[in-house]
Amino acid sequence: MAGQLIPPPGQEALMQENLTKTQRIALWADLVDATEELVKAGLRHKLGPDGDVDKAFRDWYVREMEEHDRTVAHMLDELHRRSSKHAR
């Protein structure tokens, strides 16, 4: 299905089961670095050769974290509201 965030069974990315915690963390860090590079490549394409990609990335990251914080705050408010309703 186009736009599906979770792959269908059997098509998910596999991780070797015998990795140590250190190797798993290193794999995660590589994924974070690769994601950052993909965002920067998109910004570089959008801004052109003379654009300040690092500044655009910092600005993008601030906006993303603000949105993340709003989402988490909303989820906590909802959790509190729902748990208060049932905690009689």
Q: What is the tens place of the pLDDT at every residue in 36-85?
A: 999 999 999 999 989 999 999 999 999 999 999 999 999 999 999 988 87
Mean pLDDT for the chain? 89
Q: Is the overall model pTM greater than 0.85, yes or no?
A: no
Q: 50 is written with which tokens? A: 């003379």
Domain locations along the chain: 21-86
Both tokens of 16, joined, read 């070797």
Q: Which residue has the higher pLDDT, 25 or 2?
A: 25
pLDDT at position 16 is 78
Q: pLDDT tens digit string along 15-43? A: 778 899 999 999 999 999 999 999 999 99
Residue 4 pLDDT > 90: no
Q: Round to whole Å and give the CA distance between 41 and 47.
A: 10
